[in-house]
Every structure is written in structure tokens, then in C-alpha cells.
Amino acid sequence: MSVASLMDDEGVSPALANGTLTVPSLRAATSVSQQAYETLRKSILEMDVYDSEADLRLDEKRLAAALGVSRTPVREALARLEHEGLVRIVPRRGIYVVRKSKAEIIEMIQVLSALESLAARRVCEHASDEEIKGLRALFSDFEDGAVRSRLSEYSVANLKFHQRIIELSHSSLLKSMAFGLLTHVRAIRGHTIGDADRFERSLSDHIAIIKALEGRDVELAERLVRDHALGLAGHVERALT
């Protein structure tokens, strides 16, 4: 397990594909337990758990040393992460980062496609023009074929785009329902974005979705968002082992 600095809250580590959990030491704060939870959660989300070489086993003692805290806040953080479905604690065997099965991944993507299409409808109905315009800004650096040479950066923008669609729905209920699914699906999105030039189709899909949202075309936006998500499910079905 290596120790390295992390990116911003929504970012993905440049070392995304190496299957390594990166954990920085904590800064001084009033709640060490909360910081341990947030830091470990971010680290797990930045880890490519679907890399066949990924080391999924966690060591409580080593995590505490890396974070610069005692084992108690680490234990409390791991319990919260287990509740969220990000880790699995097996008595007398160890602690493991959860890797979903292919069937579970496909089901989560299918459910998320329904939630994201609903979010797209609500974006058309409730988001401001300025908020929708901000979606286009996410991809302004990837024009003229720049995606291939900046795939890690595009992967970050891709994940932010899907999260932002949910946020712009302005629905607390929808966000709470999608939160857990996004947590897991973002890992498979990051893992597969480079497969068979999927990033090119991904960018094309995103621009088409943004145009539909800008035009407040509810039916088209819903369909494009749903088809985009189901395209990922189809890719997982064909390609993930």
C-alpha cells in the first residue's frame, strides 16, 4: 500500500489504473474519526478495484500508521464504509475493499440509468441556463481529439458530468437514491473508459446530452441519458470478466 497525496473531492488519482490504495496522513481537526472516514472513502473511490492486480485487502494497523492516528478512529471509519458497501469486514480473516460481481454491476447501472434519465427531465424543468452551461465547460479542454492524450483527466470530467446531472435535478430524494449507486458505478466507469476507444463515444454522447438539456428537450434528454448509461451496461456485459 503506497502513501500519496490525493486530488480534490471529486477527482480521480492519476494512478487510477494501478490498483493501489493511496492514503495521505490526516491534518489536525476536531473529529479524527470523521477525517479518517472521509480520507479512506476518497482513497477507495480513487482506487481501480476492477484491476486484476488490485490489492483489495486492508490492514487496520497500516492504515492507522499511514493516517497518523490510533486504530480506534480507523476501526470506526471502516465500520461506516462497510455500511456503505465499500468494504467487507470478515471476522478472523480480514478487511477487504468490495469488488462487485458482473451481474451486480449491470443491475446497478440499469437502475442508475432510470435515475439519471429522471434527473435529466428535472434538469430541463428546474436547472438554470447558467447551470446547464456549466456542463459544457467540463469538456472544453477535450476538443479537437485531445481526449486520447489526456485520458485520466477526461475520466475525471466524465465522472463529474454524471454527478452534476444528478445534482442539477435539484431533488434531494433523487440525489440520496443515486448516491450509493454512483459510488460503485464510478469505479467501473473509470476502469472501462479506455476500452475500445469508449472515451470517443462517451464525449460524443455527453455533447448530445448537453445540447438536449440546453434546448429543454425533455424526451430527448431522458432518452439520451438512459441510452448512454445502458451502453455502459452492455459494454460491461461483453467485456468485463
pLDDT of residue 1 exceeding 50 = no
Q: Write down the pLDDT at residue 48.
A: 84
Q: Write down the pLDDT at residue 25.
A: 66
Looking at mean pLDDT, say which of 20-24, 46-50, 121-125, 233-237 comes out highest: 121-125
The answer to whether the CB of 101 falls within 8 A of the CB of 50 is no
pLDDT of residue 3 exceeding 50 = no
The C-alpha cell 477526461 sits at: 154
Q: Write down the pLDDT at residue 192.
A: 83
Cβ count within 10 A of residue 220: 17
Q: Write down the pLDDT at residue 39.
A: 94
Q: Write down the pLDDT at residue 62.
A: 94
User: Which long-range contacts does 55-58 make (Cβ < 8 Å, 24+ apart)?
Assistant: 55/1, 55/19, 55/20, 55/21, 56/96, 56/97, 56/99, 57/94, 57/95, 57/96, 57/97, 58/21, 58/87, 58/94, 58/95, 58/96, 58/97
Residue range(s) occupied by CATH 1.10.10.10 in the chain: 16-97
Residue range(s) occupied by CATH 1.20.120.530 in the chain: 102-239
Rounded to the nearest integer, the mean pLDDT of the chain is 86
Q: Write down the pLDDT at residue 75.
A: 95
Three-state DSSP class for 184? helix
> Which of the four pLDDT bands, split at 50, 70 and 90, describes residue 19?
low
The C-alpha cell 485520466 sits at: 152
Q: Write down the pLDDT at residue 74.
A: 96
> Which of the four pLDDT bands, split at 50, 70 and 90, describes residue 191?
confident
Name the percent of the chain in helix, strand, coil, to the closest 5.
65, 5, 30
The answer to whether the CB of 49 falls within 8 A of the CB of 19 is yes
- Architecture of the domain delimited by 102-239: Up-down Bundle (1.20)
**CATH dotted code for 16-97:** 1.10.10.10
Q: Write down the pLDDT at residue 145.
A: 66
Rounded Cα distance between 100 and 68, Å, is 30
Q: Write down the pLDDT at residue 27.
A: 61
The C-alpha cell 460503485 sits at: 184
